[in-house]
Amino acid sequence: MLAGGAALALSQSLPADAEAAYGDIPPLKSVTPYPLGVATSATKVSDPAWSALAARQFSRLTAEWEMKMEYVLQADGSLKLDRADKMVAFARRNGMTVHGHTLIWYAQDGEYFQKLSAKPDAFLNAYVDYIAGVMGRYKGVIPSWDVVNEPIWNDGRGLRPCLWQKVLGDDYIGLALEAAHRADPQALLFINDYNLELTPKKRATFLKLIETLLKNGAPLHGIGTQTHIDAGITPGLIRSAIADIASLGLKVHISELDISLREDHPTPVAQPRIDQVRTLNELLEAYQDVPANQRYGLTMWALRDSDSWLNTPQGGKSLIPDEPVLFDRLGRPKPLAQAFVNAVK
């Protein structure tokens, strides 16, 4: 049962028919045999309707943006973690864990590091200090981190060029993992990337990177698959990808799941939703085949359709809103949520 205040907030936020629909499924976290996460922000955890629904349905939080360097690192090298603190506090109040996302990303470096780029020793010290500063604040509180995000070109040609690689060389990933392990030796460390299902060449390059890191003794414990996919993805691609990724023996985190309906379909309007359920079923069945000790969990990359990055300009917002997650814009469980329950039970 929800605590009184949370239940009241939820009931006041939804019309009566939505409340009835809401009662049609059990709390998703109660039927899922592994941790079930959702992406969030400091603004969302302050919203009563969002908070009540998330706390009822999910057991883990991932910050969508506010633990990334673009927000955290200031021009003078200081760290701004006020919003991260707020999300962590919400999680702890509601018996949820937090997955840290993300420390090093090719797309964000910041003025502070750019100024140090001609001084490799100072740059490396700052690199290590940044990782230690962020992780150290949450040592013993955040049990896992995406240490490096999206290191591989989408076409699989190799590592993406970035400031980290330019100054530190290809070993910037290994250096980040070592720094993260020193900062919190108990934390599980992940590398996270996307389109591993859709692009076999990228997946092969990514897994070769992982194998090289492990061979070199890097403290790496898991792989995040993101899994931003279209409803019409070719059947079998997801199953093959999950099997390949799991074959390395590391933990596997379905880390940013959404299933977009936006892809053009020549079939009638109902077909994308049918494909969406089929795709979700394939994913959940493939994940169930992963050994239990490797299933680190599944994280939805939004609570409600209206929260999804796919309905922002960054995600290609269009006149027709996308519907990529389990709950509609009012927080009502969609048929996709019922399909989720049926598949994981």
Question: Which residues participate in catalysis according to the annotation?
Answer: 256
Within the chain, where are the H helices?
A: 4-13, 16-22, 28-31, 42-45, 48-57, 69-72, 82-93, 111-115, 120-137, 163-168, 172-183, 200-215, 237-246, 271-288, 335-344
- Please state, in angstroms and rounded to a whole number, the distance separating the CA atoms of residues 80 and 86: 12
Q: Decide if 36 contacts 61 (C-beta within 8 A).
A: no
Residue with tokens 């907030």: 9
- Please state, in angstroms and rounded to a whole number, the distance separating the CA atoms of residues 164 and 160: 10
Residue with tokens 């998703």: 28
What dihedral angle (degrees, nearest 10) is formed by the CA atoms of 315, 320, 322, 328? Answer: 130
Question: What is the residue-wise DSSP string for 154-200?
Answer: TTSSSBPP-HHHHHH-TTHHHHHHHHHHHH-TTSEEEEE-S-TTT-H
Burial pattern 224-247, b for ≥16 Cβ within 10 A else e, equals bbbbbbbbbbeeebbbebbebbbe
